[in-house]
């Protein structure tokens, strides 16, 4: 709320004013054009509190009031008009406010930020007063004295806003200023230093986020480059090497998954250190995997009940002399995997299958 907040407050005030303005209501008292008719119309306030409208360009929105001469104008009066009217009236540099007939300077007009021009006026006065009465709580030995000080400020501001006892107030201010020149100076310096520190902190934050963003970008770029390289390497390999394609593909797949895992790991590690400063250790269970004891499988050949005498095995047929009585396999048959022992074995199996079986 003190002067330190003034700058930030200025920005805020503009925003608030932009929301508070209603299009139709406000009109220039002189030329009666409303914002409705000319949307880029902006209210200009002068020190006397009356408004004029002007067609505003961007730069003038940010204009700030000069400090020094305004104290003179506080005495003179109020004025509030639109800029076209402002220009008309103040073509010579100074003129009268059309409502209150006080002498005004052109330079003192600035964009109104609050709906009620009186508030704007008070805000201006307060700013000026606080520039002088800029003692802080630490400077006072007790809370009561600090409160008295604040009350004094409020009184002065009130007097100046409502034109009550202007001369006395002004004299009081000058007196105070003379007495506490060093203190005022010191506090001014402190303020500026604080502001600077704040600004620095903000800067650092911004830089940090920038750095992080750049890092992530860089990493992504690296990853993409690597991927592209990998693909290119795969293509080259497929062209040049003599290994089978499936092997190469498998190799490259491995490589690419490895890459991905590498990139993932650093990104996983970082959240651990960032979180509230407490380093969370990754608990890896190193207990040995329990051994499963099972009986080994032993092969038991299949036993099929054929209800008949046993058929000699496929390999034995030749030796036993069966194959001489079977038609020999032609070369075409052998190429397909057929052997005469197959046919022989099948015939014998069929002959002996179910021979001893009887239904009951």
Partner 1 sequence: MYHSSTQRKRWTFCNGQQLERCREEANRNFHSKAAATGKVQQNDFRLLKPHEELAICKHYEKRLLDFCSVFKPAMPRSVVGTASMYFKRFYLNNSVMEYHPRIIMLTCVFLACKVDEFNVSSAQFVGNLRESPAGQEKALEQILEYELLLIQQLNFHLIVHNPYRPFEGFLIDLKTRYPVLENPEVLRKTADDFLSRVALTDAYLLFSPSQIALAAILSSGSRAGINMESYLSESLKLKEDRTTLAKLLDGMKCMSNLIRKYELPKSEEVVALKQKLEKCHSLDLLLSTNSKKRKGYEDDEYVAKKPKVDEVGKPIVLFFFFHSNCHDKSNTATETNFCTHSYSFLCCSGRIHISCT
* Binding-site ranges for partner 1 (CB under 8 A): 304-309, 320-322, 324-326, 344, 346-360
Give the phi and the psi of residue 119 in degrees, each rounded to 5.
Answer: -65, -45
Please tell me what DSSP assigns to residue 80: B
31 or 316, CB closer to partner 1? 316
Give the phi and the psi of residue 329 in degrees, each rounded to 5.
Answer: -80, 130
DSSP string covering 200-268:
HHHHHHHHHHHHHHHHHHHHHHHHHHHHHHHHHHHHHHHHH--S-HHHHHHHHHHHHHHHHHHHHHHHH
140 or 322, CB closer to partner 1? 322
Cα distances (angstroms) measured from residue 236 to each of 49, 241, 249, 279, 302: 80, 8, 12, 45, 52
Answer for the pair 132, 170: CB distance below 8 angstroms, yes or no.
no
17 or 347, CB closer to partner 1? 347
Task: In angstroms, give the least distance from the CB of 353 to partner 1.
Answer: 4
Task: Specify the pairing of strand 103-105 against strand 41-45.
Answer: unpaired
74 or 344, CB closer to partner 1? 344
Task: In angstroms, give the least distance from the CB of 329 to partner 1.
Answer: 15
Beta carbons within 10 angstroms of residue 177's beta carbon:
13
Task: In angstroms, give the least distance from the CB of 332 to partner 1.
Answer: 20
Task: In angstroms, give the least distance from the CB of 265 to partner 1.
Answer: 59
253 or 346, CB closer to partner 1? 346
150 or 347, CB closer to partner 1? 347
Give the phi and the psi of residue 104 in degrees, each rounded to 5.
Answer: -135, 155
């Amino acid at each position: 709320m003190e002067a330190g907040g003034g700058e930030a407050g200025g920005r805020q005030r503009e925003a608030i004013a932009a929301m508070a303005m209603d299009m139709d209501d406000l009109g220039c008292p002189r030329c009666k054009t409303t914002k409705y008719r000319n949307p880029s119309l902006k209210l200009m306030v002068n020190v006397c509190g009356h408004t004029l409208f002007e067609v505003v360009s961007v730069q003038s929105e940010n204009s700030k009031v000069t400090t020094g001469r305004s104290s003179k104008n506080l005495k003179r009066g109020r004025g509030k008009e639109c800029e076209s009217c402002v220009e008309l009236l103040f073509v010579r540099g100074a003129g009268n406010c059309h409502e209150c007939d006080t002498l005004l300077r052109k330079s003192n007009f600035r964009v109104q930020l609050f709906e009620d021009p009186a508030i704007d006026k008070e805000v201006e006065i307060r700013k000026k007063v606080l520039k002088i009465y800029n003692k802080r709580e630490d400077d006072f030995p007790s809370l009561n004295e600090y409160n008295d000080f604040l009350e004094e400020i409020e009184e002065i501001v009130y007097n100046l806003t409502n034109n009550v006892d202007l001369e006395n107030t002004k004299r009081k201010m000058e007196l105070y200023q003379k007495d506490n020149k060093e203190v005022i100076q010191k506090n001014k310096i402190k303020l500026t230093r604080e502001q600077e520190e704040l600004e620095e902190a903000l800067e650092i934050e911004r830089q940090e986020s920038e750095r992080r963003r750049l890092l992530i970008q860089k990493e992504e770029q690296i990853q993409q480059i690597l991927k592209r390289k990998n693909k290119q390497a795969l293509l080259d390999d497929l062209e040049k090497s003599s290994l089978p394609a499936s092997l190469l593909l498998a190799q490259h797949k491995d490589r690419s998954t490895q890459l991905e895992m590498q990139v993932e790991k650093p990104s996983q590690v970082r959240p651990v250190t960032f979180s509230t400063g407490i380093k969370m250790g990754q608990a890896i269970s190193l207990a040995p995997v329990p051994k499963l004891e099972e009986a080994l499988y032993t092969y038991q050949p299949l036993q099929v009940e054929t209800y008949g005498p046993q058929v000699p095995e496929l390999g034995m047929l030749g030796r036993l002399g069966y194959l001489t009585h079977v038609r020999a396999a032609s070369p075409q048959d052998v190429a397909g995997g057929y052997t005469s022992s197959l046919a022989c074995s099948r015939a014998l199996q069929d002959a002996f299958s179910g021979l001893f079986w009887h239904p009951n």
